[in-house]
A = this chain, B = another copy of it.
Amino acid sequence: MIARVYVGLKPGVLDPQGRTIAHSLNDLGFDEVQDAKQGKVIELTLSGDDREAAEARVKEMCETLLANTVIESYRIELDD
């Protein structure tokens, strides 16, 4: 099973990386870019095929290691 975890900064948290991307794109002539945010995706290959159990375990992985829940939020997607 494949689990995809999307981790991004919570609204209101300063995102210097995103601002740099937006500024650089503007400087390159992409004037339509108003804002940019950067996050990460972690794609996990998991053994087993119990979807519900997998979702609970991946949630635990996020809380323990993959996301810093003080400043980041995450979203989990499961694929067979």
Contact = CB atoms under 8 A, between A and B. Distances in A.
A11 to B, nearest CB: 12
A59 B24 CA distance: 16
A32 interface: yes
Query: How many copies are assembled?
Result: 2
Contact of A41 (B24, B25, B30, B39): B39
Contact of A30 (B21, B37, B57): B57
B25 A36 contact: no
Nearest to A60: B30
Interface of A: 6, 8, 18, 21-22, 24-25, 28, 30, 32-48, 54, 57, 60-61, 64-66
19 contacts: A6-B41, A8-B41, A22-B44, A28-B61, A28-B65, A30-B57, A32-B48, A33-B45, A33-B46, A34-B47, A35-B44, A35-B45, A36-B42, A36-B43, A36-B45, A37-B42, A38-B41, A39-B41, A39-B42
